[in-house]
């Protein structure tokens, strides 16, 4: 269990403990310390201390799985403030955890011990948007959904979308290389981010907020920060290219009788829908039954019968008649060739929402059913269901299925080879966890899969990176970490294996 590990952790010997004078220094850096500085420490010159419970929101992740013990939260409003804070922490050897919307799933955004929390939520201004090129430049603390709404008025759309869009911040999205629902069509942040403004561990501001689509002058440093999970720099600003907002959408859900059929449908859909395909998701029967039983009202099974697997496709394009024609031709072909058993095409916006709800309610339903072990993994598409089946029979053999384990569901982004496997237990229990781990990681290593497709490593999987990356790669990563952060002050005890 991860909290056991945390309990054993020793604070880095070279790191200092936060003192009264440090809080006073922070208060002098922040323009509005009364609202930008939360601490339980009593100081003579700083703001008045708060109750420890007021820090809970920042010390604990939203799943309440990872728990830190920070006594100080800072909410700077400018890059300059972040830079001065970092410079001071660097000199004083105070460890820091950067925090965005705190919507992560691997504990990357909360402290492990008593790290100072730098929460970016107060840096939430849009700096510029170019309506000809679609280039957006904004503060790291902007909420993803707010950005999407802002540029929607101008006919553009954020190239990423995820369940947490209402709370997650673009800086956190970039720091964790978030994937999500538009990945299939618009690709990864490594391709979409044009530039970053980053405060390095020593306080230096790396101003790389370029809006150029092409710039081949030297190593593309921003790429290192994308997915670095706050371990080598603190992202304060983001420049990103945004695509035109499609005006036409279609959503359909198909029922199929095998996982082979899911793949077959994927091939046919790619061929028919070509450039307008924007999502290809799947979920198994267990997922749908769980959603029907436990999700909030409004989720209805569109089919009369039960089927082993379901596929959701979305198309988005610039001309409704054309897209409708393509989708209808696809449907005809799928029915005629018996590639699908049943299918339903949304006729209006309400139906679009309710079909998407089938897929999007799965995590919520799992949360209501019990304590969920979530694994976000990738592998060759054809193996995705095999892992789910293997896990079910393994838990069964160990006498856990229907006992401590209530359900195992598989769903995810077929187009990206990204499976979400959720194992829902009565409660988090070492007896369950030891049957799952390291088995699942070993399984993935054998098929050259990834133990973290889009959620990242954080506190959950930092020590497990060896299942997906070679010792030579991990050694270079450690060198890079050391190059940027020789004192290991930024987001320590995460992401990479400890040296011992």
Identify residues 289-318 at the interface with its own copies (CB under 8 A).
Answer: 317-318
Is residue 125 within the footprint of its own copies (CB under 8 A)? no
Identify residues 162-191 at the interface with its own copies (CB under 8 A).
Answer: 176-177, 179, 183, 187-188, 190-191
Question: Six-digit token pair at 88?
Answer: 């001071």
Of 17 and 478, which has the nearer Cβ to its own copies?
478
Q: Whole-number minimum distance, CB 359 to its own copies, in Å?
A: 17
**140 Cβ neighbours under 8 A, 6+ residues apart:** 100, 120, 123, 169, 170, 171, 172, 174, 197, 235, 236, 237, 238
Of 70 and 177, which has the nearer Cβ to its own copies?
177
Of 244 and 306, which has the nearer Cβ to its own copies?
244
**What is the rounded distance in angstroms from the CA atom of residue 23 to the CA atom of residue 25?**
5
Of 372 and 378, which has the nearer Cβ to its own copies?
378
Is residue 3 within the footprint of its own copies (CB under 8 A)? no
Identify residues 431-470 at the interface with its own copies (CB under 8 A).
Answer: 448-457, 461, 465, 468-470
Is residue 79 within the footprint of its own copies (CB under 8 A)? no
Of 212 and 293, which has the nearer Cβ to its own copies?
212
Of 188 and 354, which has the nearer Cβ to its own copies?
188
Of 96-104, 120-128, 215-223, 425-433, the segment contacting its own copies by CB under 8 A is 215-223
Identify residues 30-59 at the interface with its own copies (CB under 8 A).
Answer: none
Identify residues 381-440 at the interface with its own copies (CB under 8 A).
Answer: 381-382, 413, 415-418
For its own copies, the binding residue among 260, 389, 476, 486 (CB under 8 A) is: 476
Of 133 and 371, which has the nearer Cβ to its own copies?
133
Of 25 and 374, which has the nearer Cβ to its own copies?
374
For its own copies, the binding residue among 74, 89, 162, 226 (CB under 8 A) is: 226
For its own copies, the binding residue among 271, 306, 389, 438 (CB under 8 A) is: 271
Task: Tell me which residue has tokens 């237990």.
Answer: 425
Identify residues 231-270 at the interface with its own copies (CB under 8 A).
Answer: 232, 244, 246, 263, 266-267, 270
Three-state SS for the chain is: CHHHHHHHCCCCCCCCCCCHHHHHHHHHHCCCHHHHEEECCCCCCCCCCCCHHHHHHHHECCCCCCECCCCEEECCCCHHHHHHHHHHHHHHCCCEEEECCCCCCCCCCCCCCCCEEEEHHHCCCEEEEECCCCEEEEECCCEHHHHHHHHHCCCECCCCCCCCCCCCEHHHHHHCCCCCCCHHHHCCHHHHEEEEEEECCCCCEEEECCCCCCCCCCCCCHHHHCCCCCCCCEEEEEEEECCECCCEEEEEEEEECCHHHHHHHHHHHHHHHHHHEEEEEEEEHHHHHHHHHHCCCCCCCCCCCCCCEEEEEEEEECCHHHHHHHHHHHHHHHHHCCCCCEEEECCCHHHHHHHHHHHHCHHHHHHHHCEEEEEEEECCHHHHHHHHHHHHHHHHHCCCECCCEEEEEEEEEHHHCEEEEEEEECCCCHHHHHHHCCHHHHHHHHCCCECCCCCCCHHHHHHHHHHCCCHHHHHHHHHHHHHHCCCCCECCCCCCCCCC
Identify residues 4-33 at the interface with its own copies (CB under 8 A).
Answer: none
Is residue 320 within the footprint of its own copies (CB under 8 A)? no
For its own copies, the binding residue among 57, 152, 221, 293 (CB under 8 A) is: 221
Is residue 285 within the footprint of its own copies (CB under 8 A)? no
Is residue 207 within the footprint of its own copies (CB under 8 A)? yes
Of 111 and 233, which has the nearer Cβ to its own copies?
233
Is residue 210 within the footprint of its own copies (CB under 8 A)? yes
Is residue 272 within the footprint of its own copies (CB under 8 A)? yes
Of 30 and 194, which has the nearer Cβ to its own copies?
194
Is residue 276 within the footprint of its own copies (CB under 8 A)? yes
Identify residues 104-123 at the interface with its own copies (CB under 8 A).
Answer: none
Identify residues 322-381 at the interface with its own copies (CB under 8 A).
Answer: 322, 325-326, 378-381
């Amino acid at each position: 269990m991860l909290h056991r590990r945390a309990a054993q952790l020793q604070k880095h010997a070279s790191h200092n403990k936060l003192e009264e004078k440090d809080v006073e220094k922070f208060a002098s850096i922040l323009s509005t310390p009364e609202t930008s500085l939360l601490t339980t420490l009593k100081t003579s010159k700083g703001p008045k201390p708060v109750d420890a419970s007021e820090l809970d929101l920042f010390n604990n992740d939203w799943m309440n799985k990872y728990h830190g013990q920070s006594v100080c939260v800072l909410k700077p409003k400018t890059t300059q403030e972040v830079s001065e804070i970092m410079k001071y922490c660097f000199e004083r050897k105070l460890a820091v955890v950067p925090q965005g919307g705190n919507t992560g799933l691997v504990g990357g955004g909360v402290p492990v011990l008593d790290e100072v929390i730098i929460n970016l939520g107060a840096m939430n201004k849009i700096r510029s948007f170019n309506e000809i090129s679609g280039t957006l430049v904004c503060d790291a603390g902007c909420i993803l959904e707010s950005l999407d709404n802002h540029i929607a008025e101008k006919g553009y759309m954020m190239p990423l979308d995820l369940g947490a869009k209402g709370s997650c911040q673009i800086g956190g999205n970039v720091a964790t290389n978030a994937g999500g629902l538009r990945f299939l069509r618009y690709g990864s942040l490594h391709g979409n981010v044009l530039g970053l403004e980053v405060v390095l561990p020593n306080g230096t501001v790396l101003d790389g907020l370029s809006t150029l689509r092409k710039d081949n002058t030297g190593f593309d440093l921003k790429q290192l920060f994308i997915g670095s999970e706050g371990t080598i720099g603190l992202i304060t600003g983001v420049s990103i290219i945004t695509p035109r907002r499609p005006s036409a959408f279609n959503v359909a859900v198909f029922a199929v009788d095998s996982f082979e059929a899911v793949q077959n449908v994927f091939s046919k859909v790619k061929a028919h829908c070509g450039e307008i395909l924007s999502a290809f998701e799947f979920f198994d029967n267990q997922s749908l039954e769980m959603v029907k039983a436990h999700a909030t009202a409004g989720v209805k099974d569109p089919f009369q019968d039960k089927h082993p697997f379901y596929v959701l496709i979305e198309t988005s394009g610039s001309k409704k008649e054309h897209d409708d024609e393509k989708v209808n031709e696809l449907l005809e072909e799928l029915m005629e060739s018996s590639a699908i058993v049943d299918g339903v095409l949304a006729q209006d916006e309400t139906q679009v929402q309710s079909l998407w709800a089938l897929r999007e309610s799965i995590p919520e339903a799992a949360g209501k059913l019990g304590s969920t072990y979530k694994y976000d993994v990738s592998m060759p598409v054809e193996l995705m269901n095999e892992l789910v089946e293997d896990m079910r029979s393994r838990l069964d053999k160990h006498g856990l299925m229907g006992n401590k384990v209530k359900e195992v569901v598989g769903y995810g982004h077929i187009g990206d080879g990204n499976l979400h496997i959720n194992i829902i237990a009565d409660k988090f229990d070492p007896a369950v966890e030891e049957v799952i781990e390291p088995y699942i990681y070993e399984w993935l290593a054998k098929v050259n899969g990834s133990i973290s497709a889009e959620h990242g490593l954080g506190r959950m999987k930092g020590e497990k990176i060896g299942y997906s990356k070679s010792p030579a790669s991990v050694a270079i990563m450690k060198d890079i970490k050391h190059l940027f952060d020789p004192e290991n002050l930024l987001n320590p005890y995460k992401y990479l294996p400890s040296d011992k």
